[in-house]
Amino acid sequence: MARPDPHSVTDDSQPTTRHLEWDATVDFQSKRLSATVSLHFKEAAKSPTPFDLDARALEVSTVTDLSGAALKWEALPPDAILGTPLRVHVPAGATGVRLEYRTGPEASALQWLEPSQTHGGNQPYLFSQCQAIHARSVLPCQDSPARRVSYRASMNVPSGLVAVMAAAPKNSQSKGGRTTFHFEMPQVIPPYLLAFAVGDLASKDLSPRSRVWCEPGLLASAAWEFEGVERQIEAAESLFGPYDWERFDLLVMPPSFPYGGMENPRLTFLTPTLLAGDRSMVNVVAHELAHSWTGNLVTNVNAEHFWLNEGFTVFAERRILEALEGHENAELHAALGRNDLEEAVARFEKAGTPELTRLRTRLAGIDPDEAFSVVPYEKGYLLLRALEAAAGRERFDALLQGWLEKHRFGSVNTDDFIAHCEQLAPGLLAKVNAPQWIDQPGIPADAPRAKSARLDAVKALAGTVPEASAVAGWSAIEWQLFLEWSPRTLSAAQLSALDERFHFSSAKNTEVHVAWLLLSLQSGSDAMLPQVESFLGRVGRMKYLKPLFAALHGRASTRPFAKTLFEKNSSRLHPIARQVIAGMLAK
């Protein structure tokens, strides 16, 4: 037995799934999917073998081979993190297995929204979020990025609703008050990239290969906000090679979507908080687009090498930004990233888990949603910047392009990257002391620092109440840095003077708004509690929930309020966010 992934029962000595066919019927009443999945093996089983599948809260009714002959199977012992896996006993010569099942009403990947929780208010909505290990709550599978599959799928939904998937749409048919939508994903993907949404959805073209989907009432503002997407794709192609996924469509999610964005192939999912009205948050689109190369084309083999997905993607995101908005803008984003990184490293240090700040982590027995932090993003980014500086941009670009070329549609670990560097640029890793970055906690003292005159200007004013003339022309990112750099010791008078002058408590950019709420809370002020309550009642993005709840929970006087707010809102949160915040408040 050899397991390539601590978060999956996938076993190298057993058959490998290479293709799957999934047919699901969506029932909004019972909040369940009834489905059939056929898992096709890469090679027929040579001898009788157990075939272990990840599953969580699935109710399986029938298990057969692909010709319909019943197979013996059993549930394996449940595990709090992994779920309740299944073992199917496969005879020699079998080319796959088929399972009929339904999902549990509490499937961790799925959020079922009442019409009242949507923008339009008339139709229900369903969406999935499978990263990191939630695909197994939607279908039994080898739920590890070490296993890539192509797929065909269909979704049967009540007529009037539209089903979209992160795949190529095929035809659809309506019959008896229901519509079946068909999809195909011809490229092999890790299971965490399986994704769908069902709701009152409309779309508008942004370019020949990109359109935006969302509820009809948001379409005009979404199309305006993301108008520049084709320029991002073109910039990315000139940096990283041809875009391999045919389409880059966007789906603006309901506000409870727990992430800023999710790089589902061909159909990136985005939080509606990006609709700031001034295109100030399109770096998130650049980030998800960059995953089309770093993450989706070349995928971390398991969550212990997550930095190969996210660190590379932050690096790629900032290269796209640099190409479109200039070096200085990219540096401002890097400075924000540095703040987040230092804060996270201090938090892990304090929690007694500094080992989670290595780039290469050990995660057996640790839930990847709990281990999630900006460290693989921003520390990974800094290592790549250090390597770029040491190699020179031209050589480093060649190294990066070679990496993407060599591992296209493959799954990689940290040693693969080390080997690639040693081959193309012998001695480069040693030059930046890469082993320290990779296997030691914390931020190396010689880590590259963001430099720009605009940064210096912001830093000089942080902690003061500046004149309007001194900040004329500041963009959202400068405001965010200003607020983050302001000491948490501002007086009530200073806080209210700031808000009066710059209106942070009604800022449309949620990064600025949340930075302001945190500054106020952490300075010991209660003035913003109504705004905090209102924000937490509207938005389910974990990047905001976590620090806001932590700030409330961290102060004795607001701790009960944290609990009240969580109880009030938890039924509206995605199951992943609900679990993460419940865990935080229990500490």
Binding interface with Zn ion (CB under 5 A) = 310, 313
> In the complex, what is the shortest distance from the CB of residue 286 to ligand BES, in angstroms, rounded to a whole number?
8
One character per residue 275-314, x = contact with ligand BES (rule: CB under 6 A): ---------x--xx--x------------------x----
User: Which candidate, 314, 224, 220, places its Cα nearest to that of 263?
Assistant: 314
User: Considering only residues 55, 262, 324, 550, which one is a binding residue for ligand BES as defined by CB under 6 A?
Assistant: 262
Output 112 or 269, the one with its CB closest to Zn ion: 269
Nearer to Zn ion, 154 or 411 (CB): 411
Nearest-10 Cα torsion for 509, 511, 517, 522: -160
CA 349 and chain centroid, separation: 24
Residue in the structure block whose two tokens are 């709550």? 137
Q: Which residues contact 169 (CB under 8 A, 6 or more apart)?
A: 181, 182, 183
Closer residue to ligand BES (CB): 96 or 376: 376
Pair 486, 525: CB distance under 8 Å: no
260 binds, among ligand BES, Zn ion, none (CB under 5 to 8 A by kind): ligand BES
Q: Is residue 335 a contact partner of residue 457, using CB atoms and an 8 Å limit?
A: no
218 binds, among ligand BES, Zn ion, none (CB under 5 to 8 A by kind): none
**Which one, 281 or 562, has the nearer CB to ligand BES?**
281
Quick one: what does residue 261 bind among ligand BES, Zn ion, none, with the CB cut-off 5 to 8 Å set by partner type?
A: ligand BES
| Residue (76 or 239) nearer to ligand BES, CB | 239
Among 23, 263, 304, 499, binds ligand BES (CB under 6 A): 263
Min CB(288)–ligand BES separation in Å: 6
Residue 228 CB, shortest distance to ligand BES, in Å, is 16
Contact call for residues 542 and 580 (beta carbons, < 8 A): yes
Nearest 10 degrees: CA dihedral of 204, 222, 215, 168? 50
In this structure, what token pair is assigned to residue 142?
């080898």
Catalytic residue among 125, 377, 381, 544: 377
Can you tell me whether residue 79 is helix, strand or coil? strand
User: CA-to-CA distance for 328 and 382, rounded, in angstroms?
Assistant: 16
Q: Confirm whether 192 is a catalytic residue.
A: no
Q: Rule CB under 6 A: say whether 378 interacts with ligand BES.
A: no
For residue 526, the minimal CB distance to ligand BES (Å) is 28
Say if CB 23 and CB 380 are below 8 A apart.
no
Least separation in angstroms between residue 110's CB and ligand BES is 14
Sole binder of ligand BES in the list 132, 267, 289, 438 (CB under 6 A) = 132
484 is catalytic: no
Give yes or no for residue 65 binding ligand BES (CB under 6 A): no
Residue 314 or 550 with smaller CB distance to Zn ion: 314
The least distance separating ligand BES from the CB of residue 261, rounded to whole angstroms, comes to: 5
Q: State the binding partner of 233 from ligand BES, Zn ion, none, CB within 5 to 8 A by kind.
A: none
d(CA 209, CA 246): 7
Instruction: Pick one of Zn ion, ligand BES, none as the site partner of residue 215 (Cβ within 5 to 8 A by kind).
Output: none
Q: Which is nearer to ligand BES, 111 or 156 (CB)?
A: 111
Task: Tell me the torsion sign for CA atoms 532, 548, 305, 425.
Answer: positive
The residue among 41 and 312 lying less far from ligand BES, judged by its C-beta, is 312
Give, as ranges, the residues between 505 and 564 that touch ligand BES (CB under 6 A): 543
Picked from ligand BES, Zn ion, none, the partner binding residue 380 (CB below 5 to 8 A depending on kind) is none
Q: Rule CB under 6 A: choose which of 261, 272, 442, 540 binds ligand BES.
A: 261
Q: Sort 487 into a burial class: Cβ within 10 Å, 0-12 / 13-18 / 19+.
A: exposed
How many residues sit in the footprint of ligand BES (CB under 6 A)? 15
Shortest CA distance to 79 belongs to which of 4, 2, 17, 6?
A: 6
> Which residue's Cβ lies closest to ligand BES?
260
Q: Report in angstroms how near the CB of residue 465 gets to ligand BES at its nearest.
A: 30
Q: Which does 148 bind (CB under 5 to 8 A by kind): ligand BES, Zn ion, none?
A: none
259 is in the binding site of which of ligand BES, Zn ion, none (Cβ under 5 to 8 A by kind)?
ligand BES
- CA–CA distances in Å: residue 60 to residues 101, 136, 139, 147, 199: 4, 13, 10, 22, 27
**DSSP string of 362-376, one letter each residue:** --TTS-HHHH--SHH
Residue count (the chain): 587
Residue 535 and residue 520: Cα distance in Å, rounded? 14
Q: Is 497 helix (H, G, I), strand (E, B) or coil?
A: helix
543 binds, among Zn ion, ligand BES, none (CB under 5 to 8 A by kind): ligand BES
Amino acid in position 378: E
Near ligand BES by CB under 6 A: residue from 260, 311, 380, 547: 260
Asked whether 284 and 270 are in contact (CB, 8 A), the reply is yes
Shortest separation between residue 157's beta carbon and Zn ion, angstroms: 29
Residue 506's CB is within 10 A of a number of other CB atoms, namely 9
Cα distances (Å, whole numbers) of residue 341 to 226, 315, 334, 348, 382: 28, 14, 10, 11, 10
Cβ distance to ligand BES smaller for residue 372 or 474 = 372
Pick the closer one to ligand BES by CB: 245 or 372: 372
Q: Write the CA distances from 87 to 50, 137, 216, 444, integer angstroms.
A: 6, 16, 44, 45
Minimum CB separation of residue 48 from Zn ion in Å reads 41
Nearest C-alpha neighbor of 201 from the set 261, 131, 277, 124: 124
| Active-site residue, selected from the candidate residues 288, 317, 484, 511 | 288
Q: How far is the CB of 374 from ligand BES (least distance, A)?
A: 8
| Residue 259 is a binding residue for ligand BES (CB under 6 A) | yes
Contact residues: ligand BES, CB under 6 A: 131-132, 259-263, 284, 287-288, 291, 310, 372, 377, 543
* Residues involved in catalysis: 288, 377
